[in-house]
Amino acid sequence: MVTIQAQPLTPQAFAPFGTYVDLLHAGFENGQEVMQSSFFPDLMPLTVAQPTSVSMGRVCSCRKIIPFLERHPGTAEVRLPLDGSVVIYAAPQQSLETFDPSTLRAFIVPRGTMIELAPGVVHGRQFTVDQPVVHMLFLCRHGTCANDVELRRLGSELEIEIDTEKGR
């Protein structure tokens, strides 16, 4: 078994895989006065193609063993954990058949932080960090799951576990 250590999300560490923005704290980092109602436009440009579809996911607590790899060669994928933090995994663009496990990284994505995985980035499901259930919002080009997805199920020949204890 291979174990990878989940790390905090930072711009430098996540740059090879995409971009992100902390939506719950955006706009306040410059000491702006907090008002009862605030609006912060244009926080992060997205490269998700048109037409875009919204999908929802429900992530339940379980052992953090990676069951599969996927990639979308032609489109980006946006993920937003709504009510808890999650751990994601990603690797640079490469063939799933000749996947190199040493390129895989895991990141802790705090609640309310939107990430965009670049087209072709190897990734897969997400795991909860410290809550039993987390709801996720996904944005992709409409039809991505039917028309722009490559999958590889992992079995006993390549078992990868994510450790989140040191990354928190």
Task: Give the alpha-carbon dihedral of 86, 90, 95, 97, to 10 degrees.
Answer: -50
pTM summary value: 0.88
| Amino acid residing at 52 | T
100-128 pLDDT per residue, tens: 999 999 999 999 999 999 999 999 999 99
- Three-class DSSP category at 99: coil
Longest CA pairwise span in the chain (Å)? 54
Question: What is the model's pLDDT at position 157?
Answer: 82
- Give pLDDT tens digits for 84-97: 999 999 999 999 99
pLDDT in tens, 120-154: 999 999 999 999 999 999 999 998 988 999 999 99
- Least Cα distance to 134 among 151, 102, 111, 157 occurs for 111
2-22 confidence digits (pLDDT tens): 899 999 999 999 999 999 999
Task: Give the Cβ contact number of residue 133 at 10 Å.
Answer: 11
CATH of domain 2-25+45-162: 2.60.120.480
